[in-house]
Structure 1
Amino acid sequence: MCYRYGHMERAILSSEIAGVDLRGAVTRGVGAQGIELSETVRRMEESIPQVILLLEAAVERCISFTGGSEADELILALDDTMLQYISTLQDTLKSLRAVCGVDNKDIGLDRKEGAQNSRKTDLISNEEEWSIVQGALQILTVADCLTSRSSVFEASLRATLARLSTTLSLSVFGSSLDNNQLHVANDDGNGEPPLGGRAALDVAAVRLVDVPEKARKLFNLLDQSKDPRFHALPLASQRVAAFAEAVNELVYDVLISKVRQRLSEVSRMPIWSAAEEQSAFRLPTFSAYPQPYVTSVGEYLLTLPQQLEPLAEGISNSDANNDEAQFFATEWMFKVAEGATALYMEQLRGIQYITDGGAQQLSVDIEYLSNVLSALSMPIPPVLATFQTCLGTPRDQLKDLLKSDNGNQLDLPTANLVCKIRRLNLD
């Protein structure tokens, strides 16, 4: 019976889960990604309560048809069904990476192909870019909803198992569970049939009394369910956590993608090593302005809090927790700002040679980004501060700077690297 029940329940749930429509994550060309992303995310989010209702219905079926005697098989069926559903969500998430333009297919391309891809990205309007960002941020609500709903369902399932532990033991043995009672005969010694015999209409009691080995396994499971550390759906719990992690990874990749595109060629920009014009006349010097690549990144970072605000407000409204909403927005803002800074410093380390004019320009660029980070209440990494100081210092004064007291505040490996790319021998 247990095999037939488990097989039947899996078939029912599998069929119902297959009917949940998550399709729609198909790229339809430039200009449609944001709409497509939003629609797919909406379907994903709406599917979660639908699936939970299906699982709750399965629990009710088990109790109605078997009195709970097949609870062990039910749990296995529920776990498998959740795995099937989460697998579908993960497949959809993978397709969304392509919709968002972060499917990682461009990793390993040569420089020419990478530049072509960058030009394709530039075809996407600024409005479309922000539409994709908003859609990606909305995926966080899918992960949050799945995590909370599955957690509540699992807690409810544990409570159901705890009730079954009491009701089934009373039905079968007439008292609280005692494993020794699993070996009792069909006669209680007084000539009276045991409670299981008297409760002939109790389906669960009849089945469990007839199959003592199954009863022992079931009651062991029900006893374990009373432990707060018990996971009714162990595999599903792990997969939910993995899905949430994959969502965070996708959202981060989307949020950092524009920064990555703008900074991808910084180390190879011709301006760093461009020959400086010689003139017989003393020409006035003008202050350099930050270049478009860095102002574009800065403006994006400064605009990001506004994009995070609607989602943060949604969290605040649903949970009545403004602190949590503020933490959410700040956490993601810091993640992206830190990622942008790391990408920038990686590019700076890749510069092979820089002239005095190039150093002056780069110092201005770094100062601009540092001001943006300060405006976002982000600390300036010592490495970035060292780049700015050493690049902004005239080449003939750099040695003295490193030997001075101020030199102790610099990141030494970075300072040595700047000397190297400025062709300054420290010996």
Structure 2
Amino acid sequence: MSIPASTNQLVESLEQYEDVVLWINDTLTPRDGDDDDSSPLPLTDLTELDHQITQLLTTLDIASEDASAQIERLIDDVSRGIPRLAYDLHFMKDGASTLQNALVGVLQRSRDAIPKETSEALDNLHQLDTVKGRMEAAREVLREAESWSTLEHEVTSLIAEKSYAKAAERLSEANKSMVVFQNTPEYDPRRNLMVNLQNQLEAALSTALVSAINAQDSNACKEYFSIFAIIQRESEFRNYYYASRRSGIVSLWQNTPLVDCEASNEVATQGFADFLPKFYTNFTSLLNTERTSICAIFPDPSFTLSQFISSTMSSLQPTMPQRLTSYSSHHGELSLTQLISVLRATEEFATGVEKIMEKVQFATSPMLPPKSISTPFDKPQSHRRRSSRMSISLRPQPAAVASSMKPVTDSLDSMEWDQEVFQPFLDFQVDYGSLERRFLEQSLLNIITSDTREKVQAADRPRLFRERAIDIFGVAEGSMGRCKTFTHGYGAVGLVQALDGFFQSFVDMWTADIQTEPYSSSSLVKNSISDGELSDLDYTAQDWSDIQLSLHLLASGKSVFDRMMTFETKLRTYLSQVASQFRLAFSDPSNFLIAATKGESQLLEQSTLNSAELHSLLLSIENESNPREPPFSASLRHQPAAPPPVPEPLLLNARKALSTFAQACQMSTTKTILCPLRNHLAGYASSPSWRSNADPALMTSSNDLRVPTFSLSPSDTVQRVAEGLLNLPRLFEVYADDDALAFSLQTLPFVEAEMLQNLSEQTQDLPNQQSHRRRPSSYMKPNAIDAEVVSSAWLVSLGHTFLEYLTAEILPAIPSLSVAGAAQLSSDLEYLSNIVRALNVEHSALERWKSYVGMDAADGIKTLNESISDPVDPVLERVAKLCGWR
């Protein structure tokens, strides 16, 4: 493939075509020596074609931006010049008129001054001079025609005599005269003759040239190079030279079998990671050898050495991308660490090559002044090199200013050898997020494999959760180093996403265990607190064990959450360092590089890793690290300083997973605590008292005396339930010092942030001596949630959960209500309502049941009729059905 080396050549070649598709096809068509276009391309050529298309698109993009910038400058120049143009035209018109009048006068005076005989003599002399010039031109054309007639014989004779320099000079002279035959029928035959003779000379020189190159005869190679340059075959000379000098390193690459790359018939003894540093060492030795030869032969040694490196890397078979793909597939999920080692070796090679290139530059330009070294206090100069394709800028700039910043590069900056070296790694670097996630998931699988080999006792689950969390965060801490080494910070977005999904997967596994596996074990013994002050509670030894297990898991979740917050702080610090490094590189790209070389930095900069999402992430991290202070105002002098903004969480899904885990533990604890109360209500809906026909307002004595009664006592079931509810605060007094209860209060059922705020305010208003359940001040931790708030939140959640079960499942299951049954139910609900209010619980469904059941038939029917036009309350509709109001 042949793609123009510079933007100007690309634009010039594009201007020669009217159809863009035709230009692209011609540009990507193989040149001399390539296979036929009609034959299908092998996989290697397709890969090379893909790289060429990528390079072509990048060059077109840069050319487009350069053209846009030039058009903008032209528009600005024209806009500034148009207002003065009218004045200049008017001034020029006046001057031209004055000059015309002056010339007419001078011409008339000159005619008047010259006699008629003299004028006629001058006209004759002018005519004779014109004839002489044309005759001389005709003579030169005849001489050129005569020389072309003997050109083939002369050049062939000189080639046979091995007078290659004279033959080249003769062809050069003939080539200069080709312009004489332009647009004539003689042009094409003479052009074909010229090309044929040049081919003969090149063929005659090729054998001697290859011998001189192999013998490292710099003088002979230099002489041959001058001959090739004279006949305009300089590129062919370079191809001969590159192919001969790289043959050894290419053979080393091709003939070395590797155990973790493509299949080989030979017995492989080493892996790609071991072979690549040796290959680079040999390549560096070759470049050090060629440094002297190239400087002696070529007039542009820096450019030549860069082309030599690029052509060598592109001629490797199998190609570097193919070997990297096979290498990554061989190592599977853990390929990231292997790719990092290979990339590190490549960066070390590139650093060594940069030193060689600097030596070449200094050797060819010894009188160049040294570059000035800027200090952190120097202001950026206007000639600083700034990439026109920078898509991330942590400092916003106007579009006009950004487009006018043209990169000023020296001879080293224009080299593309390092892009050829690092281009094969770019696809893997772009896919860093996926590679990191696969590595972390495989590490997680390896960590939990030991847990699945044998059955883990339920009592050991909390401890195992904390231990595995230590292993998990240990693996995750290495991810920041991998991101830095493999993508130089450009993979920050993929890093955050991979870590977030990794932690989420880990926590979700434990949440699934809680939700699916019943925790019961004979090794769990009855807690000692059930033998003492709480022995009267209706909990079995297994219930106490389940409560303890849930609380221990909740405590483990809090430990993991604290560790996650610490890790997120480290991650935020790393991202802040990346943002600072990017800012330095963007402000002064000449002295601060993001990657190992300028070419690698440019490849990463132009890749999809350099996205708006990365810009947003780094900008938010930088704003959190250095919040901008508002302008000083006298009216704000005496106001307290505003608290620093709370940073946005980075591991959002991991936090949600921990909240889900805490909610599962809380639901398990709630279910165990409320289990005795639910057992009391097992036969409540089928109680025969709901169908009793006795008048609840009268009670018959033993002597048939009807004694009026003013209220009904609650049923035994409700009294036992009430006792259980009133014992709940005693239960939480025992666990008042357990920090696990305070973890993730916002995920408790029926507890909202506003409710927690109200509970906290109510607790702060209470005097210390009236809060007998509050922890002593000596046990209070800074910024810890008050134990009273924690107990109140749990009691509110338990109360609402129980009442929701009562009103949603038990009460609707009552088959029917007589008048006496409705009175009994109203008494029970009234009693329960008073009990739960003592626990700071107000349940709207319970209040509606109590209100509707307490109505007589007339009031109930009236209320039911009044609510027909509106959506009917499902509680009213159910009570009406039970009481027979409709």
Same fold (TM over 0.5): yes
Amino acid paired to 1:335: S
Q: 1:84 to 1:204 in 2, by over 3 A?
A: farther
Match of 2:97 in 1: none
Residue pair 1:154, 1:232 contacting (<8 A) in 2 also: yes
Is the partner of 2:787 in helix, strand or coil?
A: helix
Listed as ranges, the matches of 1:170-189 within 5 Å are 170=584, 172-173=585-586, 175=588
Q: Secondary structure at the match of 2:704?
A: coil
Q: Is the 8 A contact 2:462 2:556 kept in 1?
A: yes
Given candidates 62, 83, 99, the residue that maps to 2:519 is 99
CA displacement, residues 370-420 of structure 1 (integer Å, 9 cap, x when unaligned): 342233233475325426745xxxxxxx468889xxxxxxxx997897676
Deviations 1:88-140 (A, max 9, x none): 223222234x338xxxxxxxxxxxxxxxxxxxxxxx96232233234334444
The 5 A counterparts of 1:192-211 are: 194-195=590-591, 203=596, 207-211=600-604
Q: Which residue of 2 aligns with 1:298?
A: 722
Q: 1:338-417 counterparts in 2 under 5 A?
A: 338-346=800-808, 347-355=810-818, 358-359=821-822, 361-379=824-842, 381=844, 382-386=847-851, 389-390=854-855, 398=856
Are residue 39 (structure 1) and residue 504 (structure 2) matched? Answer: no
Structure 2 counterpart of 1:266, one-letter code: Y
CA deviation after TM superposition for structure 1 residue 163, in Å: 1.1
CA distance in 2, matches of 1:291, 1:281: 26
Relative distance call for 1:205 and 1:16 in structure 2 (3 A) is farther
Q: 1:46 to 1:310 in 2, by over 3 A?
A: farther
Q: Distance in 2 between matches of 1:249 and 1:70?
A: 39
Match of 2:788 in 1: 326
RMSD: 4.8
CA distance in 2, matches of 1:310, 1:300: 16
Deviations 1:323-370 (A, max 9, x none): 443222212211221222233334334433334554454445334423
What residue in structure 1 maps to residue 8 of structure 2? none
Cα 1:140–1:267 change in 2 (3 A) is: same
Q: Match of 1:166?
A: 580
Shift of 1:166: 1.2
Aligned to 1:187: none
- AA partner of residue 829 (structure 2): I
Letter of the aligned partner of 1:308 in structure 2?
Answer: F
Q: What SS class does the counterpart of residue 817 from structure 2 fall into?
A: coil
How far 1:310 moved relative to its partner?
Answer: 5.1
Indicate yes or no: 2:640 matched with 1:224.
no
Deviation at 1:288, TM superposition (A): 6.8
- CA displacement at 1:305 relative to structure 2: 2.6
Q: Which residue of 2 is the match for residue 272 of structure 1?
A: 690
8 Å CA contact 1:158–1:225 kept in 2: the answer is: no
Contact kept in structure 2, 1:274 and 1:355, CA below 8 Å: yes
Tell whether the 8 Å contact from 1:69 to 1:208 is kept in structure 2 after alignment. Answer: no
Query: 1:128 aligned to 2:542?
Result: yes
For 1:132 and 1:297, locate their aligned partners in 2 and report how far apart those are by CA, in whole Å. Answer: 21
2:731 aligned with 1:307, yes or no? yes
Bigger relative contact order (CA 8 A; separation at least 6): 1
Task: Give yes or no for contact 2:550–2:666 (8 Å, CA) kept in 1.
Answer: no
Where does structure 2 lack aligned partners over 5 or more consecutive residues? 1-424, 521-537, 625-646, 743-778, 862-872
After superposition, the Cα gap between the structure-2 partners of 1:206 and 1:150, relative to the gap in structure 1 and judged at 3 Å, is farther
**Are the counterparts in 2 of residues 158 and 226 from structure 1 also a CA contact under 8 Å?**
no
> Is contact 1:209–1:215 with CA below 8 Å preserved after alignment?
no
Q: Is the 8 A contact 1:196 1:209 kept in 2?
A: no
What is the CA distance between 1:69 and its match in structure 2?
5.5
TM-fit CA distance, 1:40: 2.0
Q: C-alpha distance in 2, partners of 1:234/1:195?
A: 37
Aligned to 1:17: 444
Tell whether the 8 Å contact from 1:147 to 1:241 is kept in structure 2 after alignment. no
For residue 82 of structure 1, report the CA deviation from its aligned partner: 1.9
| AA in 2 matched with 1:84 | S
1:213 equivalent in alignment to 2:606: yes
1:212 alignment partner AA: E
Which amino acid in 1 is paired with 2:816? Answer: Y
Give CA-to-partner distance per residue, 1:173-216, whole Å, 9 cap, x none: 563xxxxx6xxxxxxxxxxxx3367x9xx748774245432496
- Contact 1:66 / 1:203 at 8 angstroms: preserved in 2? no
**d(CA) in 1 for partners of 2:592 and 2:600?**
9
Return the letter of the residue paired with 1:54: V
Give distance in 1, aligned partners of 2:484 and 2:649. 20
Distance across 2 between alignment mates of 1:359 and 1:7: 64
State the AA in 1 paired with 2:797. K
Which among 139, 157, 162 is matched to residue 571 of structure 2?
Answer: 157
Aligned residues: 360
Query: For 1:254-292, what per-residue CA distance to the aligned partner results, in whole angstroms no more than 9, with x for missing partners?
Result: 444444443344222233225769999527989976445
What is the match of residue 680 of structure 2?
A: 262
| Distance of 2:448 and 2:597 partners within structure 1 | 33
Letter in 1 for 2:688: P
Q: Which amino acid aligns with 2:835?
A: V
The equivalent of 2:297 in structure 1 is none
- Assess, with a 3 A threshold, how the Cα gap between structure 1 residues 207 and 383 changes in structure 2: closer, same or farther: same
Shift of 1:75: 3.1
Of the candidates 54, 57, 78, which is equivalent to residue 499 of structure 2?
Answer: 78
Distance 2:491 2:875 in 1: 66
Q: Which amino acid aligns with 1:270?
A: P
Change (3 A) 1:301 1:338: same
Q: C-alpha distance in 2, partners of 1:399/1:266? A: 24
Say which is worse superposed, 276-285 or 248-257, in terms of deviation. Answer: 276-285
Match in the other structure for 1:408: none
Q: Post-superposition shift, 1:304?
A: 2.4
Q: In structure 2, how many angstroms separate the alpha carbons of the residues matched to 1:318 and 1:73?
A: 41
Residues 204 and 222 (structure 1 numbering): CA distance in 2 closer, same or farther, change over 3 Å?
farther
Change (3 A) 1:60 1:389: same
SS in 2 for 1:55: helix
Mapped to 1, the partners of 2:730 and 2:823 lie a distance apart of 33
Q: Does the CA contact (< 8 Å) of 2:849 and 2:879 recur in 1?
A: no
Identity %: 21
Change in 2 beyond 3 A, CA 1:300/1:73? same
| 1:282 counterpart residue number | 704
Q: Give secondary structure in 2 for the equivalent of 1:217.
A: coil
Q: Conserved in 2, the CA contact under 8 Å of 1:22 and 1:92?
A: no
CA distance in structure 2 between the aligned counterparts of 1:133 and 1:40, rounded to whole angstroms: 14
Partner of 1:336 in structure 2? 798
How far apart, CA to CA, are the structure 2 residues paired with 1:291 and 1:27? 47
Say whether the 8 Å CA contact 2:466–2:559 is kept in structure 1: yes
Q: Are residues 1:90 and 2:511 paired?
A: yes
Deviation at 1:217, TM superposition (A): 0.9
